[in-house]
Amino acid sequence: MDNTQDAADLALALTAASEAGHVLMRHWKDRGNLSVQTKRAGDFLSQADLDAERCLKSILLEARPDDGWLGEETGASAPARRRWIVDPLDGTTNFLRGIPHWAVSVALEVDGHRRIGVVHDPVKSETFSASLGAGAFLDGAPIRVSALADLSSALFGTGIPFGGMAHIDDHTADMARLLPHCAGVRRMGAAALDLAYVAAGRLDGFWERRLQQWDIAAGLVILREAGARITALDPLDHPESSGTVVTANPALFDAFALILRDQRSSLA
């Protein structure tokens, strides 16, 4: 892959995410008047989501008209060698409630490999980005996962299932196993930002079940370039296909994953 092409694609993704962020900020200031639909219990769709995705699609596909598309709100195009994978507003519930923790997520997949990732937080004016083989960055400065090796001091992120999700009991069991061994778990409500926070060393690890590809595509690129280890709960599975993510810095990963997999005896 041409590094010049990656640089151009990353610049395009950064521009698109920034412009979608401007769209969202306009809605954020007037969110009390937004039209909101309920997809299912606890899962919402607003006009802000739709307008931000329309903005992303216009910028990305006008610049790359032969590329494919997978968006949370507009679905998938016909298969293509190159495909943009976007979540126009990760953390819609936070957004609608006035909680300033939500983001735009943009990824590019080429020949089945995720090469570009951008997670843009308009409220905090922070942009996490990476391209394959070129490192991970926060607002242009290099980032790496934490070096913490002491599980008892580690801080993890997760996404807690809601409504009628079938895996609530599984996740409750995960928490019961992990909490006695660590410094805490945060549920902040935006998976894309949680993954970026692991990449930046703000969290030491993260796990969640049944995420969608637009939730994790950009974050996984950023994580890998920041030095994280990543797998699924089933070590033979892959996050890209399963939507289940377990990630942490290399020093903590084995202990963290063993607890989540209920293999604590293997820690001895």
* pLDDT above 70: residue 1: no
Helix (H, G, I), strand (E, B) or coil at 81: coil
Query: Which of residues 227 and 172 earns the better pLDDT score?
Result: 227
**Distant-in-sequence, close-in-space partners of 67: CB < 8 Å, separation ≥ 6:** 60, 61, 80, 82, 83, 84, 108
The reported pLDDT for the residue numbered 132 is 97
Calpha distance 74→56 (Å, rounded): 11
pLDDT bracket for residue 266 (50, 70, 90):
very low
Beta-bridged to residue 131, according to DSSP, are 116
pLDDT bracket for residue 19 (50, 70, 90):
very high
Domains (range + CATH), the chain: 3-142 (3.30.540.10), 151-263 (3.40.190.80)
The reported pLDDT for the residue numbered 2 is 75
Q: Mean pLDDT score of the chain, rounded to an integer?
A: 92
The reported pLDDT for the residue numbered 164 is 60
* pLDDT above 60: residue 225: yes
* pLDDT above 70: residue 264: no
Handedness of CA 25, 226, 174, 85 (dihedral sign): positive
The reported pLDDT for the residue numbered 213 is 96
Helix (H, G, I), strand (E, B) or coil at 174: helix
**Distant-in-sequence, close-in-space partners of 83: CB < 8 Å, separation ≥ 6:** 67, 68, 69, 70, 77, 108, 109, 110
User: pLDDT for 133-154, tens place per residue?
Assistant: 999 999 999 999 999 999 999 9
Beta-bridged to residue 230, according to DSSP, are 247
CA distances from 263 to 149, 207, 259, 266 (A): 19, 16, 6, 6
The reported pLDDT for the residue numbered 268 is 29
User: pLDDT for 59-93, tens place per residue?
Assistant: 999 999 999 999 999 999 999 999 999 999 999 99
Calpha distance 71→200 (Å, rounded): 26
What are φ and ψ of residue 94, in 5° steps?
-55, -50
Helix 191-199 vs helix 213-225: crossing angle, to nearest 10 = 0
User: pLDDT for 24-49, tens place per residue?
Assistant: 999 999 888 887 777 554 455 688 99
Nearest to 232 by CA among 248, 217, 244, 214: 244
pTM (2 decimals)?
0.93
pLDDT bracket for residue 267 (50, 70, 90):
very low
What average pLDDT does this structure show over 207-218? 95
